[in-house]
Amino acid sequence: MGKTTGFLEYERKEAAALPPKERIRNFREFHQPLPLSMQQKQGARCMECGVPFCQYGAAIAGMTSGCPLHNLIPEWNDYVYHGNFEKAYERLRKTSNFPEFTSRVCPALCEKACTLGQYSTPVSTKENERTIIEYAYEKGLAAAKPPKNRTGKKVAVVGSGPSGLAAADDLNRRGHLVTVFERADRIGGLLRYGIPNMKLEKWIIDRKVKILEEEGIRFETGCEIGRDRLSQDLLKEFDAIVFAGGASNPRNIDAPGRDAKNILFAVDYLTQSTKLLYDHGYLKPDYQGDWNKVSGGLAAGKDVVVIGGGDTGNDCVGTAIRQGAKSVLQLEMMPEPPETRRDSNPWPQWPLVKKTDYGQEEAIDRFGKDPRMYQTTVSSFKKDKQGRLSSIVLVKLESKTDAESGRRSFVPVAGSKQEVPCQLALIAAGFLGAEKALCDAFSLEQDARTNIKSDGHRAISTGKDSGKIFCAGDIRTGQSLVVKAIADGKACAKEVDEFLMGYSNL
């Protein structure tokens, strides 16, 4: 695949990112893709390694190595190298429903497992993928292709995030009649409201949803199952139901003063920010208005503390800076990772190394220092006379092992408390599984982590119509990545198809 000596002849080159001072002025995507001729050279770097871990997609040492979708990466890298982007798109579409999403928001598990990365810099697979899909749209290759035949079977998909959309797409292509129900006002789930616009512009979602509609999928927004549509009506109307509502219960921080005003869950803050942009018309592709009129948000002029060091926490950092935060601090319970792999973390395992993401880069540029504080958590929240958050008391943590159980835990370090000003705290501590009301409405069982219990993707239910209920994505597996949610949605679609037809060709 690629050019036999390409990895020796060409260095890795990535799409240029606008400098932080420029990109924090708005919520636009800030990477500038390479010209096609330069991207072809990046495809040439694929080294015909023999064992392509990039498309392996299974767990090594408890962490996924390579693409969970098993994308045919060496094959389409070869087509990119030769400039045959039409063939590259054909190979990409065989395994991936939404490369326009994953090429922007996926952490590139493929690249972390790239054989070339063991010796040099990995192949720029993620940007190759983006080039392929955008070429396909430009040339009309990604246009709607409705199924030629219909089975007459009706499937309801509850939730329009990546797993729900993937299940809906595959089932519709098979010929089933699919309706997607979404309780929010727009389709996309966390793609829409949990990922900020500078990371995934919302017209990209709209572009794909329009195609899915043209291919025959029905979408109902503002429809909450159990409230706007009763469970018994859904069970009566549809031959199969797929629950793909995501892990929708954010983890809380149980500390004194938690009832203070201006303590928000990260997803609520990011949703509010995106809706503010919609309200001002800023998310229209042809928007030409004054950004200063819409830059105000909850973080404007405030000292912001983000509690959580993951991708969502980083998105909160970047959003707060764009809204004009006075300062931004990000707390992480875990120790600071090393700059390079330890001997105990060899390739092709996921690299447990320090990553400075776009929001942290912007904080360093804006405030002159890294916003992250490691092995630190909240001891208590302080509020003013009006009940508004005014400061946070932090405490350092240390790792200790229990002598009896052998379990490690983090405990506060005596005398390490410090108080920092804070008028907005954002809790980005992750999510737990399905909402209890939804499970109760359909007699669905939940596991210890509140995910829907399942046998494969068949939801375990005590209801009389339990055989037709399935589940996919974070609502079944717990919080995970977009690419894993898509893979799980596809696997669920195959099980649903087998249930409806007695066999599956998905």
On whether the CB atoms of residues 470 and 243 are closer than 8 A, the answer is yes
Q: Identify whether residues 407 and 441 lie together within a single domain.
A: no
- 300 shares a domain with 416: yes
**Does residue 210 form part of some domain?**
yes
Q: Are 85 and 78 in contact (CB under 8 A)?
A: no
- Number of domain units in the chain: 3
Q: Are residues 245 and 262 in the same domain?
A: no
pLDDT for 393-439, tens place per residue?
999 999 988 878 888 889 999 999 999 999 999 999 998 889 888 99
- The domain in which residue 23 lies consists of 6-138
pTM for this model (two decimals): 0.95
Domain termination site, one of 138, 169, 188: 138
- Residue 28 has, within 13 A of its CA and on its CB side, a CA count of 17
CATH number, position 437: 3.50.50.60
In 63-209, DSSP assigns E strands to 63-65, 154-158, 177-181
Q: What is the DSSP letter of 364?
A: H
394 falls within a domain: yes
334 and 211 belong to one structural domain: no
Lowest mean per-residue pLDDT among 227-231, 427-431, 487-491 = 227-231
Q: Does 419 lie in the same domain as 318? A: yes
Q: What's the token pair of residue 88?
A: 């590259």
Question: What is the residue-wise DSSP string for 102-121?
Answer: HHHH---HHHHT-GGGGTSP
How far is residue 179 from each of residues 81, 176, 184, 216, 238, measured CA to CA in Å? 40, 10, 15, 9, 9
Quick one: CA dihedral 16, 22, 24, 29, positive or negative?
Answer: negative
Identify the pLDDT of residue 3.
Answer: 87
Q: What is the pLDDT of residue 292?
A: 63
Q: Is residue 147 part of a domain?
A: no
What local confidence, expressed as pLDDT, does residue 2 receive?
79
Q: What is the pLDDT of residue 48?
A: 81
Mean pLDDT value across residues 363-388: 97
CB count, 10 Å around CB of 178?
29
Is residue 471 assigned to a domain?
Answer: yes
**Pick from 378, 408, 427: which residue ends a domain?**
427
Q: Which of these three, 138, 169, 186, is where a domain ends? A: 138
Give residue-wise pLDDT tens across range 146-171: 999 999 999 999 999 999 999 999 99
pLDDT of residue 47: 85
Residues 314 and 404 reside in one and the same domain? yes
Is 492 inside any structural domain? yes
Is a pLDDT exceeding 80 seen at residue 243? yes
Q: Are 475 and 387 contained in the same domain?
A: no
Q: Residue 293: what pLDDT?
A: 61
Q: Is the CB of residue 130 less than 8 Å from the CB of residue 76?
A: no
The whole-number average pLDDT for the span 299-318 is 96
